[in-house]
A and B are shown apart, each in its own frame.
Chain A
Amino acid sequence: MSQLWDFSGGIHPPENKRQSTSRPIRMAGIPDRLILPLQQHIGERAEAIVTVGDRVLKGQTVAEVTTGIGVPVHSPTSGIVEAIEQRPVPHPSGMVDWCVIIKPDGEDRWCELQPVPDYKLLERQQILQRIRDAGISGMGGAGFPTDIKLRPPRDRKVETLILNGAECEPYITADDMTMREHAAEVVAGMKVMAWILRPSKCVIGIEDNKPEAIAAMQEAVQDTQIEIAVVPTKYPSGGEKQLIRILTGLEVPSGGLPADIGVMCHNVGTAMAVSRAIFEGKPLISRVLTITGEAVQEPGTFEVLLGTPISNLLAMAGLQTSKLSRLVLGGPMMGYTLKTDTIPIVKTSNCVIAATATELPAPPPEQPCIRCGQCAEVCPMELLPQQLFWHAKAAEFEKAEHLNLFDCIECGACSYVCPSAIPLVQHYRFAKDEIRTQRAEQLKSDRARERFEARQARLEREQQEKELRRKERAKAAADAQAQKQAEAEHVVAKGDAVDSRDAKAALVQQALERKKAKAAQASGSTLQATPASEEKPDIEALEKQLMQAEAKLSTMQGMLDEAKEQQADNLDKLERAVAKNHDRVERAREALTEAQKRAGSEPAAQLSE
């Protein structure tokens, strides 16, 4: 046998596996109702493709994922779709989700199956499609769609394919019994996977506390290149990263995938499902599950149709309701408690523990952490649980993250040994959730800020464009004015009869010309002086005054011109008004120039002081 490595930390909790391995796997049969959650995998929720009242056959697809990652859900028996509604589903929060409820008709009639006796005749792509269409997702716990996992990135060659049969968590015996009784199917499934991936090495890792499973698997792998690796019993050797470390000596990089180091790991149950999907054409409609705990009289393993309510299984195993204290879905280290036994079995369920109060007692009251370090000694990820706890409790999430909080696999070894009975894992989950929430909020506020800034920029741009247009209009008006005057002057200059009134008008005209030139100059300098005027309200007021005066002057001028054209009687009066306004403009300009000079010289004066 090839070399084995060790991972640091780990614990040896009481195994409690014999209770459920003394009997062979029993068929759990068809319950009254099957509750099929549409989300049994990681990815998008499947959409029901049947409607209430539809008759479905065993193995018929009832829900499909059309966009995104996901696998379909199939009817585990023939019957009628009774409802499509929200029901409690297996989830730590006890939430409800969409389920297809099937009322079995008792005939258990299969739909048409398309087995593939020689899969090597098909394209890899076709095999992967069949695995997907069979609704297979990882059956070890996470439920990641198997076909996606079997397609590693192009640049990642899988050198070692591992089947995880370690099953390190106490009580759980589903994989153990699967290997004992379905060794050939497990091996056949692994061969299909190997054909897809073409690894140079295939290993099945099994903990040494399962001698029967090891013997069965060793027999099944004869004449194949698959290797059986018997690994020492230590929790959590069945953790993906830990098993890979034990079998290859390599560490999956933090935040990376096993494929990054040329390794891929599947559960033995998943391999059996692949075998059934290919060689028998059967989709994933059942799984092997352990029902155990001291509150059931006949603990054991069952082959259960997906969607079977846990209450049915508990009844089958002889539940003594009066003894039941807590119902755990999964193992005693990582499983979660259920609020009700109406929850159905799904693709990822591997164990139900009906525990008595003495079997899994409430932990003693929590004491202060004395940093004894027992948690760090058992942490398989080589973290500092006591420091993570300290920071999580103090809401110092940045520090917790710095100490690699997100590498925690929540195996529970630290809590298991904590002398102060601190629910450490709960603190880490809390901290992770908080950090995720904060990140989501950060993202949200970042987006809001970007939106706001974009709007500001747009408004500013519009304002500038408006300003530009206004200036253009003003310039056009001024040009038109200038042209008009030039024409008027031309007329005046050409006119032979120059009476005193005309001479006076010409004088005024000349004065106006000068003023215009100056005004043009001033408007230029006014624009330049704008920044300074912001600081000096004096100047601003003066500028305003000047502009008003200019405006009035130009109005008067307009009136005068008009009057001239019409040879009106009030020319005299108008001319005086224009002259007066002209003076006013001159004064305002002088005052402004003076103020600007002062404003300009002030900084220099300050510097010289």
Chain B
Amino acid sequence: MALVQQSSPHAHHARPTSRLMLWVMLATVPGLIAQTAFFGWGNLINVIWCVALALASEAVILKLRNKPIAFFLKDNTAAVTGLLLGLSLPQFAPWWVSGIAVISAIVVAKQLYGGLGSNPFNPAMVGYALVLISFPVAMTTNWAQPATLWAGAPGFGETLATIFSGSQTSIDAWTMATPLDEYKHKITTHTAAEVLQHPTFGDLVARGWEWVNLAFLAGGLVLIWLRIITWHIPVAFLAAIAIMSLAFGNNADQYAPLQLHLLAGGTMLGAFFIATDPVSAATSHQGKLIYGAGIGVLIYLIRTWGNYPDAVAFSVLLMNFAVPFIDHYTPPRTFGHHKARRGVPGKSGG
């Protein structure tokens, strides 16, 4: 009788990583639908291209690292990285820009640091920041006009051709500055009312963007409800932006108003899907609050006084740097202890 010898516990009931990642991907679907509805086929094409390239580059590097390829590809984490890049890059970003972003995310930011679970920085944001700095023109002039799906928008084929051919001849007719970009640059010389005349703002907050952000918010709430992420990072993230905006940017004739900060740009995607990447985020609840709030504060600072209209990538990466530090000082209080043991072993602390 060869009895199985195993350490306890003998019962398991886990949702495997692959399924968690699948849920994350499914939760982005409302956002992707909204993006496609308001900004055309660009995001969908980007998503497919980026996911495919992410899986391919992950497979190649796993092969080079002599790791089981199928085992790791099945965890869906590479697909999520590709998906997040596809969702956040400009709709008409040329294929090679998104390609460079994906490859540097998977190969450099993830695998060269040791693969899944070992990367200190959010891979998708490393790729994004890299192309944002390297190709500023491609990353600012390729945002689609809102609502083009209904009014003479480029069809699927045209979009595909624009992204992959490299010919950007007719592209100017389909693109437009993003609301955050427009506001940031016009407000220095115009009043708020004048700036908001621009069609990119539409009737509500930011034409199309508001629905995209609300859709990502909805998907994010599903993730919280499914207990795949906790509320700490998104809430601290959004609260920090709101507090910063109310405290420092209350004058709409000088600074973008709060609703624009929350519902334009990559705010909701960043708050629920990017900042919550567990590998590169802080660990404890308290740490997550600090981490999320730090990202929110940095986003506001960079958007308002920095050189970039949006700042999710930089803010997430900067806070990634701070994670080990935050983790040292925010362990939870363990049951039966008076207070948490902060700091590093051997040094002072409760």
Contacts and interface: CB of A to CB of B under 8 A. Distances in A.
A335 B10 contact: yes
B1 A419 contact: no
Interface string B12-39: 1111110110000000000000000000
B166 interface: no
Nearest to B19: A419
B98 interface: no
Interface stretch (B180-188, B207-215, B266-274, B277-285): B277-285
Given A325-B3, A339-B5, A373-B230, A332 B10 contact: yes
A23 to B, nearest CB: 24
A45 interface: no
A254 B14 contact: no
15 contacts: A253-B337, A254-B337, A335-B10, A370-B77, A372-B20, A372-B278, A376-B283, A381-B334, A381-B336, A382-B335, A404-B334, A415-B12, A419-B17, A420-B117, A425-B9
A387 B341 CA distance: 14
Given A333-B8, A383-B334, A415-B9, A421 B16 contact: yes
B9 A412 contact: yes
A423 B6 CA distance: 10
Interface stretch (B101-109, B135-143, B192-200, B325-333): B325-333
A407 B336 contact: yes
Interface of B: 1, 3-17, 19-20, 71, 75, 77, 115-118, 227-228, 230, 278-279, 281, 283-284, 327, 331-337, 341, 344-346
A367 B3 contact: no
Contacts of A340: 1, 3
A420 B335 CA distance: 26
Nearest 8 interchain pairs by C-beta: A412-B9, A368-B117, A326-B4, A402-B345, A254-B336, A332-B11, A426-B7, A404-B334
Given A321-B1, A325-B3, 20 more contacts: A14-B11, A14-B13, A170-B11, A326-B6, A326-B10, A337-B3, A337-B5, A337-B10, A368-B116, A368-B118, A369-B117, A372-B20, A373-B230, A377-B227, A377-B230, A382-B335, A402-B345, A403-B331, A415-B12, A418-B14
A527 interface: no
Nearest to B68: A365
A381 B335 CA distance: 5
A251 interface: yes
A364 interface: yes
Contacts of B71: 365
Interface string A313-356: 00000000100111110101111111111000000000001010
A259 to B, nearest CB: 14
A13 interface: yes
Given A341-B1, A399-B345, A355 B15 contact: no
Nearest to A333: B9
A365 B341 CA distance: 34
A33 interface: no
B342 to A, nearest CB: 10
Interface of A: 7-8, 11, 13-14, 170, 241, 245, 251-256, 321, 324-328, 330, 332-341, 353, 355, 357, 360, 362-365, 367-374, 376-377, 380-384, 386-387, 398-399, 401-404, 407, 410, 412, 415-421, 423, 425-426, 429
Given A384-B331, A398-B345, A399-B345, A420 B17 contact: yes
A431 to B, nearest CB: 13
Contacts of A332: 8-11
A43 B99 CA distance: 66
Contacts of B279: 370-371
Contact of A253 (B1, B14, B333, B336): B336
Contacts of B278: 370-373
A260 B64 CA distance: 58
B6 A416 contact: no
Contact of B334 (A254, A337, A372): A254
Contacts of B332: 376, 382-384
A327 B17 CA distance: 29
Nearest to B345: A402
Contacts of A368: 115-118
A522 B79 CA distance: 92
A327 to B, nearest CB: 5
Given A7-B335, A324-B1, A425-B9, A384 B116 contact: no
B261 to A, nearest CB: 28
A386 B332 CA distance: 13
A11 B15 CA distance: 14
A410 B8 contact: yes
B47 to A, nearest CB: 22
Contacts of B8: 330, 332-336, 410, 412, 415, 425
A358 to B, nearest CB: 12
A387 B9 CA distance: 19
Given A332-B9, A402-B341, A415-B9, A387 B3 contact: no
A332 B11 CA distance: 6
Contacts of A253: 336-337
A368 B15 CA distance: 14
A402 B345 CA distance: 6
A477 to B, nearest CB: 60
A337 B6 contact: yes
Contacts of A328: 10
A429 B20 CA distance: 28
Contacts of A415: 8-9, 12
Contacts of B4: 325-326, 337, 357, 362
Residue among A8, A339, A373, A425 facing the most chain B CB atoms (10 A cut-off) = A373
Q: Which of B5, B9, B117 has the most CB of A within 10 A?
A: B9
